[in-house]
Amino acid sequence: MADFEDFAKLDIRVGRVAKAAPLEGARVPAYRMEIDFGPEIGLKQSSARIVDGYRPEELVGRLVLGVVNFPPRRVAGYRSEVLTLGVYSRGGEGPVVLIGPDPGMDVVPGDRLG
């Protein structure tokens, strides 16, 4: 079991997808994204297995939540620096749905989950 102190170690921020494209060479189809997390964190790279639910052009400009303080991982030769958060839809049978703030709310890249 995790406790609150474990959760508090995670730095989860709002980011805006700046670029998205297929991740060539991935064993499981995925996208590579560049996400802007505001002036403090900056532009970070992330890979995500979300091709069943999104097209790259739908991702650009979208606000998402990401864990920005995990160590980077290599995915198909791509340096993924952020864990972009999503949930499995339809009880795990459907595509991954990205988590982000409600549209129209006063949220900007870099805002922290609180």
Check: CB of residue 84 under 8 Å from CB of residue 48.
Answer: yes
- Tell me 109's DSSP state: T
> Long-range contacts of range 88-92, CB-CB < 8 Å, 24 or more positions apart?
89/53
Which segments of 1-114 does DSSP mark as H helices, in order?
A: 4-8, 38-41, 56-59
On the question of pLDDT at 114 being above 90, the answer is: no
Q: Summarize pLDDT for 26-85 with one digit per residue, the tens.
A: 999 999 999 999 999 999 999 999 999 999 999 999 999 999 999 999 999 999 999 999
Second CATH level (architecture) for the domain 4-98: Beta Barrel (2.40)
pLDDT of residue 109: 98
Domain layout of the chain by residue ranges: 4-98
On the question of pLDDT at 10 being above 90, the answer is: yes
Categorize the per-residue pLDDT at 111 as very low, low, confident or very high, splitting at 50, 70 and 90. very high
User: Using CA atoms, how far apart are residues 42 and 27, in angstroms rounded to an integer?
Assistant: 29
pLDDT of residue 113: 95
Check: CB of residue 77 under 8 Å from CB of residue 90.
Answer: no
Mean pLDDT (whole number) for 87-104: 92
On the question of pLDDT at 91 being above 90, the answer is: no
